[in-house]
Amino acid sequence: MRAKLAAFHQTGKSLKVKLAIFDLDNTLIAGDSDCLWGEFLSEHGHVDSAAYRAEHDQYYQDYLDGQLDINAFLHFQLKPLAENDVDKLEQWRKEYLAEKIKPIILPKAIELVEEHRQQDHELLIITATNRFLTEPIAKEFSIDNLIACEPEIINGQYTGRTVGTPSYAHGKVKRFHEWLNNKKSPDESWFYSDSHNDIPLLREVDHAIAVDPDESLKEEAEKTGWPIISLR
């Protein structure tokens, strides 16, 4: 195990732990769950369609370019949660999962997750998208461990703010180490991702795998010798 992770290793006798980590958007699913949430809200008239799409498209381009202001984006992304009651949001989310997410869950991704599960590997999804959207998607893969951006909830209502460090780029490394803090550090680890934004965390694990990678990640994978696979 690499030195950075070994620093989290706890002493004492225990079984070896092997950990398989998965990015979500464009890795396990054939699309971006947040973009699709925006499409859903727009198509059903839950937001001002033209204004929402224009602002979201700009943030998504910033993400692709590696220039995303994650805090500004989360303020935008979580605004509909703050403006609607939880019961309404949960109904919208059920419809969104049925319409937008279930059709793009990749069969090969399910097979990959199951391959690790059959080897008794601990499974973890880590994503920059917020927990409100991604928790039920993680459940579709029967993965209990999820690191996501955390929307703040006060008195049962979303505030539109976040809690803790956003799990984006270097923030994924910080959140991952925080998650490991009360666990036995894995003896072997895998991380599957499509995005150059995940290069910091890919460098932390024993087995970094580029999945249908963007051009920047593809170049890095070819340079470093990381395997490149497709789940499409």
Task: Single out the catalytic residue among 25, 32, 34, 198.
Answer: 25
What pLDDT sits at residue 15? 65
What pLDDT sits at residue 25? 98
What pLDDT sits at residue 16? 84
pTM of this prediction exceeds 0.75: yes
Q: Catalytic annotation on 65?
A: no
pLDDT digits (tens, 9 = 90+) for 114-126: 999 999 999 999 9
Q: In the beta sheet, which residues pair with residue 130? A: 149
Q: Catalytic annotation on 23?
A: yes
What pLDDT sits at residue 214? 97
Q: In the beta sheet, which residues pair with residue 34? A: none
Residue with tokens 């070896």: 16
Low-confidence ranges of the chain (pLDDT < 70): 1-15
Residues 221 and 232: beta-carbon distance below 8 Å = no
What pLDDT sits at residue 13? 38
Task: Single out the catalytic residue among 23, 32, 194, 198.
Answer: 23
Domains (ranges, CATH) in the chain? 3-229 (3.40.50.1000)
